[in-house]
Amino acid sequence: MRFPGFARRLPWLVLASLALFPLLAPALGLEYYVGFVRRLLIVAIAASSLNFILGYGGMAALGHAGFIGVGAYAVVALVEAGFSSAWLAWGAALAVAGVFAALIGAVSLRTRGVYFIMITLAFAQMLYYLAVSLRTYGGDDGYGLYTPLRLGAWLDGAHPDVFYWVVLAIAALVFAGFSRVAHSRYGHALRGIRDNETRMVALGYPVYRLKLAGFVAAGAVAGLAGGLLASHNAFVSPSMMHWTQSALLLVMVMLGGLGRRWGAPLGVALWLTLEEVLKMHTDYWHWPLGMLLLLVVFHAPQGLAALFERRGGQEGVR
């Protein structure tokens, strides 16, 4: 790289800047954007889980938003039952989404190519219509979380933006965890399956189990993102698991760069920021975003993260 020291410190600089943002925002008149950045971090968690199975495992799932919805409704179920602990709710979101991912993956991973895409889409739409039918939790109208979940006696009153820092810490752990796993022996095996599954089978790798493990992990993390999103919005509705949300996650991951360490966060940050800015100036904000996607497809087909890596002199490094 041209500046290897700076490149190594850049993630820490970004993390420090994000951590300081709620403290600086009032002085800059940017209090609204604390919530926006928090939402951006939650969506980046979900996108990173999709990038893990798609970019590293080659599993093009078009139903990933279904797991986000499962996690969100797990939080709703606990709130309806009278529980108020945020940690319990988010843990339940992680676990329940992981169980659903195991059940769906056990069936879906027996298919390949376009059939895998369609069956994951079908399962996600089944979950969507199941949520619509749950009148106890608001059905199609959704469910409002009118009482904030409790983080704990000392955290609840520590600072108005303590939830922001909790989300930031979880996001940092998720990004670091996926990065570490991607460069482990398991991650290399998963990439080998993506590149040539037949060869990996011939070499004796338990391909199905390796793919299922990755699918379950990604689904569980997406469920955690759903639980955090439920707390952020204080509202849950079936629309958050519609197939269009899964497609949007795919677009953001592809925009940032499939299988790139910072591809998913970069794609989410760019897409949501441009969406927020364009909405303030025009009702036709979809057009510029569509043009951006076309430009990336033609001029940076491996994503913006890959483009930056090439300019930094580390082409092909993931």
- Within-domain flag for 214: yes
Q: Is residue 122 packed enough to be buried (19+ CB in 10 Å), middle (13-18) or exposed (0-12)?
A: middle
Query: What range does the domain containing 98 cover?
Result: 4-241
215 part of a folded domain = yes
Is residue 68, in this structure, part of any structural domain at all? yes
Mean pLDDT taken over the chain: 90
What is residue 284's three-state secondary structure?
A: coil
252 contacts: CB under 8 Å, gap ≥ 6: 43, 47, 264, 267, 268, 271
The amino acid occupying position 97 is: A
- Tell me if 278 is assigned to some domain: no
Q: How many helices (H) and strands (E) does the chain have?
A: 14, 2
Instruction: Report the SS3 class of residue 63.
Output: coil
Task: Tell whether the model's pLDDT for residue 316 goes beyond 50.
Answer: no
Residue 304 lies in a domain: no
130-173 tens-digit pLDDT: 999 999 999 999 999 988 888 887 777 667 789 999 999 999 99
Q: pLDDT class for 232, splitting at 50, 70, 90?
A: very high
Q: Is position 31 within any domain?
A: yes
Identify the band that residue 315 occupies on the pLDDT scale cut at 50, 70 and 90. very low
Mapping DSSP to helix (H, G, I), strand (E, B) and coil, where does residue 150 land? strand
User: What integer pLDDT is reported at residue 64 of this predicted model?
Assistant: 95
150 — phi, psi (to 5°)? -95, 130
Task: Please give the residue that has the higher pLDDT: either 9 or 187.
Answer: 187
The domain tally of the chain equals 1
| pTM for the full predicted model | 0.92
Would the pLDDT of 4 be above 70? no
Q: Is the pLDDT of residue 44 over 60?
A: yes
Ramachandran angles phi, psi of 183, nearest 5°: -105, 10
In the predicted structure, residue 5 carries a pLDDT above the cut 80: no
Residue 141 lies in a domain: yes
Q: What pLDDT, on the 0 to 100 scale, is given for residue 158?
A: 63
Give domain status of residue 82, yes or no.
yes
